[in-house]
Amino acid sequence: MDKMDRRTFLKGGVIGGALGLFASSAYASYLPKLYPTPPEIEGSFYPVLAQKDKDFDLTRIQGKQGVAKGKIIIIQGQVLDTDGNPVADATVDLWQANAAGRYRHPHDSNEAPLDPNFQGWAIVPSGKEGKFRFKTVYPGAYPASDKWTRPPHIHFKVSKKGYIELITQMYFPGHQLNDSDLLLKRKSKEERKLMMSSKVEDKPEIYAYNIILQKV
């Protein structure tokens, strides 16, 4: 992807009216406090293998010609504080399983195949308005134990000086495994809503997910 394409892709990360309202600090002063995004465990598959390519496009790896397998989706959102103000230049760290449910991690014993063209991990700063946008694939479900299959999800670690670092997991609406997931079941109904993305477009398939940080 050349520089112009990257610039166009990032500029395309406008989510809609709700985010536009949140982005206005003048309007935000009239809004009620927002609930922080619920934290979740980091899990055992945080990336440990060194890789140079950690940009916003997880469907390609720098230096390779292939494209990741699976349904390509876009995740876009905004990092906000509990007053509804954008958090500019936050570090947004994202990692996930590939379309078959396999992580690029040496401790993942899942027998599903690795995808040599799937980046699997990205670290980018949010923009001046706290916005972020990733191109990736819809993650596959995978067995966590003999009796527990994890639903598709994406891990986030978001940090910025002056705010409490947040580790959480984003889920996809309507997936049948959400109701039986042991981690999600520990959360209240309100917390589960805050961890669920919303589908905002079909072609391309785009999901919106805001992340709310607490100040220190």
Q: Which of 133, 153, 171, 209 is catalytic?
A: 153
CA angle 210/123/62 to nearest 5° reads 130
pTM for this prediction:
0.84
The residue among 155, 16, 163, 158 whose CA lies nearest residue 81 is 163
Q: How many domains does the chain have?
A: 1
Q: What is the CATH number of the domain that holds 140?
A: 2.60.130.10
Q: Which of 60, 105, 150, 209 is catalytic?
A: 150
Q: Which tens digits make up the pLDDT trace of 19-61? A: 444 444 454 455 568 999 999 999 889 988 778 889 999 999 9
- Across the chain, mean pLDDT equals 88
Annotated catalytic residue 155: yes
Annotated catalytic residue 107: no
The pLDDT value recorded for residue 31 is 55
Q: Which of 102, 105, 155, 171 is catalytic?
A: 155
The pLDDT value recorded for residue 30 is 57
Domain of 83, in residue numbers? 3-213
Beta bridge partners of 213: 81
Q: Which of 105, 142, 163, 171 is catalytic?
A: 142
The pLDDT value recorded for residue 81 is 97
Annotated catalytic residue 142: yes
Q: Which tens digits make up the pLDDT trace of 55-104? A: 999 999 998 999 999 999 999 999 999 999 999 999 999 999 999 999 99
